Chain A
């Protein structure tokens, strides 16, 4: 399902990168990434393991600082104005970022409080992710798929304007994947949200993205609209 075009076009692009460089010590993890993603658009991140996809997501989430270059998220310069985007960005990481000894509901309520989201939203999201029956299970007792759904529910608290998804449908059975995919796709209230999705499934990425970024060794290997991308280019990315 393609995201609906924004009803009222906001002035600021969702994500704007200009020569973004990220180093980890002496190692270059992201090399001069430049792109612009309009608000409400979907960016698919492709690339082999270790290409820098997760690092890029963490930079966009404001969890890592750019070493050089410009990085604007939701119209705010990172890292200087990172406090302005806190609570407006949902980041679904590889690790679930949940307290294992607490129940599903306790985790979500705790996160909702810190995000200043209405507590009623917890029940809505529990229903939407089909977790109602497991709400009082400790996270440690959940299967990987259910843990992923809980993490997704936590990501969607407070209606983030920008969703950063790191392989969101990994570990899920087809039915759950479809259900969660729909949830992470449409925005229930009005404007479609901006999304950046990292994944290993080129077909799915091409189907739902407005823009595809292929990373290889931290550098841009491919940046185009999905219609303009050939199978050969995708193949070259992973070779």
Chain B
């Protein structure tokens, strides 16, 4: 059972990391001589992109666990991970487009594999909630959603490889050489951005998990106190309704 008391230390750690990240990225790291202010997007965009993939792979992991264990909590974990991944994916796409506009003078470039991959993955994951909502039986919904989470979670890295093969390389490779031609503080800012946005992800994930499971448990308690039929049943939902 996810409990709220872990939220405080998590939040504090995240706050420290986020503040450090903002300070280093905005003030400590020098403005790049050739790229100017735009270069500071390096401390924002790649971290969101990386964490998007982490979120979707985490969704696949919890989906897999749910298929094995059949515990509704694992389905809820997968749901929240994917839900946050969708938000991160939108941010990554938007910041990527801004980066593209400033760097290449265009918001969108079809020859750019990472951008195209993100669009494909975004399109796929955008069907997650409609798919869940369309399945009425909650158990069936959970199992089918886990099948989706595993399939899509395996698909995402593959999609990356394939699209990269079929298009020419333009995009900087942040994972291969983070700030190779940048001064030490820039490397630090990049590392901090991944850490801070990663910590933010974990905190938000835990927060939503606590929020959703508390609501479910509250309804359960209410039913126990007031009687099974006193609490109206939830209508169809796209998120898990039982624990």
- Is A24 a contact partner of B137 (Cβ separation < 8 A)? yes
- Is A65 a contact partner of B242 (Cβ separation < 8 A)? no
Considering only residues 189-243 of chain B, those with a C-beta below 8 Å from chain A are 219, 223, 228, 231, 233-234, 241-242
Residue interface mask A9-41, B partner, CB < 8 A = 1: 000000000000001111110010000000000
A-side interface mostly: strand
Find B234's partner among A23, A26, A28, A31 (CB 8 Å cutoff).
A26
Find A26's partner among B70, B137, B139, B233 (CB 8 Å cutoff).
B233
Find A23's partner among B70, B219, B231, B242 (CB 8 Å cutoff).
B242
B22: shortest Cβ distance to chain A, in Å?
43
Counting CB contacts under 8 A, is B111 at the interface?
no
Give the A interface residue count (CB, 8 A): 9
A contact set with B: CB distance below 8 Å: 23-28, 31, 65, 79
Distance, CA A24 to CA B223, complexed state (A): 15
Q: How many residues of B sit at the interface, in one of the four size bands? A: 10 to 19
- Is A24 a contact partner of B228 (Cβ separation < 8 A)? no
B21: shortest Cβ distance to chain A, in Å?
42
- Is B139 a contact partner of A65 (Cβ separation < 8 A)? yes
Find B70's partner among A25, A28, A65 (CB 8 Å cutoff).
A65
The chain B residue sitting closest to A25, CB to CB, is B138
Distance, CA A28 to CA B223, complexed state (A): 11
Find B219's partner among A26, A28, A65 (CB 8 Å cutoff).
A26
The chain B residue sitting closest to A218, CB to CB, is B228
| 6 interchain pairs, CB-CB under 8 A | A24-B138, A25-B233, A25-B242, A26-B219, A26-B242, A27-B233
Residues of B within 8 A of A31 (CB): 228
Residue interface mask B135-147, A partner, CB < 8 A = 1: 0011100000000
B36: shortest Cβ distance to chain A, in Å?
55
Distance, CA A139 to CA B228, complexed state (A): 43
Distance, CA A79 to CA B70, complexed state (A): 11
Residues of B within 8 A of A25 (CB): 137-138, 233-234, 241-242
- Is B228 a contact partner of A28 (Cβ separation < 8 A)? yes
B79: shortest Cβ distance to chain A, in Å?
15
A218: shortest Cβ distance to chain B, in Å?
9
A101: shortest Cβ distance to chain B, in Å?
25
Distance, CA A65 to CA B142, complexed state (A): 14
Residues of B within 8 A of A65 (CB): 70, 139
Residues of A within 8 A of B138 (CB): 24-25
Apart from A24-B137, A26-B219, 9 more pairs, CB < 8 Å: A24-B138, A24-B139, A25-B137, A25-B138, A25-B233, A26-B233, A26-B234, A26-B242, A65-B70
B216: shortest Cβ distance to chain A, in Å?
9
Residues of A within 8 A of B139 (CB): 24, 65
Distance, CA A25 to CA B223, complexed state (A): 14
Residues of A within 8 A of B228 (CB): 28, 31
Distance, CA A25 to CA B220, complexed state (A): 12
Residues of B within 8 A of A28 (CB): 228
